[in-house]
Amino acid sequence: MKLFQQLLVAPAALGLLAPLSVSASEVNFDDISTYSNDNLEIDVNSFNQKSTNNLLAGGEGLVDSSDTIGGFSETTTASFGVDFVVGAEDGAASEAAAFGYQMGIGLSTSFTGEDSLDVTIDIGGATSTGAATKAGSIMGFQATNNALSVDGITYTFPLAGATVVVGDTTDVSAAFTGACVYSAFTDYMGNCGTGNSVGAGANGATVAVGYAFDSGLSIAAGLSSPETAIATKESNDYYGFEVAYSADNYGVAAAFASKDGGTNFDTTYMGINAFYVPDSEVLPSISVGYETEEFIGYYTGYFVGLTWDEVGAGSLSLGAGTSDNYTDAQEELMTYELSYSYPLNDGMTITPGVYIKEAAAGADSDTGVLVKTSFSF
């Protein structure tokens, strides 16, 4: 019950930040105090928009307003996503079936109608060591040890025709467009094999800028630095650039990224990905990716993914790629996956899939079967 109350309080509290909500003099602090001191009773009528419960009715009772209709704010929206996964892996230290879950809460507030303040809150299962469960790790689930955690805060706004993104724990590639239409089943296939360049991550506080031309061409750049040392000589900065072009049924993107190694060597990445969607409903769309990495050596990796959008009532995806970036002298290990995504309704999808992750010579490959159930509301 404490977790459920936290999930309700988080969006309600953020809703008070909305610019059109109320002035400070209109806040009814008595109701807030009453909620914190009273026991919350929930029944099937509590979620009705006409409920008189001050919190569950959308937070309207927190302000002296008679014209608020539904929702905790007229300028803030909340979206929720929940993923469950269960499966087993042959070749792992433990071949027992494992379970994992994650839940994400997205809160979005607009102050001008053209901007957006976005807050992402995650919660996910974890082992006793704090790491994601085996099944959750394969899917790339967040591991928060069953506690709510703010995953990122970003503010996006237009400036002189460009789009600016600033935030904390925000990816360098936040303004990148990319060129990948493949929906990865496991975390191994994310960003079409270009997760360090076209999908460059974060290193703290981030600012990113993107500009899209009418011709389909777009350019973008991003810089991420530790919160305590932004863009200084001592800071470990992470920055990147992207040029992309997209048309009706194809696109291509190329990116460069560099991660400051501090007293060690810097790591630089260059990546390119592309996609093509044929007009035929029989032929699959194809996504490809290629990435290079330079860090005391030269490494490369690649990816190919196919998606049939209409196979029965769902879609079929097949992907293959290197498990990492490798030098010419290293043994190149591959990962393969096959999945079928079936929407039960507008808010629920079931996706069974299999994967094979090759192991070094002399070891058995990891072969797994997983079923993911996703809810969105």
Phi–psi pair at 325, nearest 5 degrees = -90, 135
Give whichever of 28-42, 225-239, 331-345 has the largest mean pLDDT: 331-345
Domain ranges of the chain: 1-64
Helix (H) or strand (E) holding 219: strand 217-225
Predicted local confidence at residue 229, as pLDDT = 67
- 3-state class (DSSP) for residue 257: strand
Mean pLDDT of 287-296: 94
Q: Is 281 exposed, middle or buried (0-12, 13-18, 19+ CB in 10 A)?
A: exposed
Q: Under a CB-based contact definition with an 8 Å cutoff, are residues 193 and 179 in contact?
A: no
* Cβ 131 vs Cβ 124: under 8 Å: no
3 state DSSP class of 35: helix
Structure token digits, residue 266: 């810097």
Q: What is the pLDDT of residue 201?
A: 85
The pLDDT of residue 372 is 94
Rounded Cα–Cα distance for residues 247 and 255 (Å): 18
Tokens 């610019």, located at residue: 19
Of 130, 120, 112, 200, the residue nearest 168 (C-alpha) = 120
Dist. CA 140–CA 129, nearest whole Å: 17
**Residue 34: partners with Cβ closer than 8 Å, 6 or more residues away:** 54
State residue 88's pLDDT score: 85
Q: What are 215-269's pLDDT values in tens digits?
A: 999 999 999 888 666 666 667 788 999 999 999 999 999 999 998 876 677 899 9
* Helical residues (DSSP H) of the chain, grouped into ranges: 2-15, 29-37, 134-139
Model confidence at 160: pLDDT above 90: yes
pLDDT mean across residues, the chain: 80
Model confidence at 354, in pLDDT bands (50, 70, 90)?
very high
The confidence band for 91, taking pLDDT boundaries of 50, 70 and 90, is low
Q: What is the DSSP letter of 210?
A: E
Residue 59, sorted as left (phi over 0), alpha (psi -120 to 50) or beta, turns out to be left
Number of C-beta neighbours around residue 149 at 10 A: 13
Share of the chain above pLDDT 90, in %: 51
Q: Is 66 exposed, middle or buried (0-12, 13-18, 19+ CB in 10 A)?
A: exposed
Enumerate residues 6+ apart whose C-beta is below 8 A from 220: 173, 175, 176, 177, 208, 209, 210, 211, 241, 242, 244
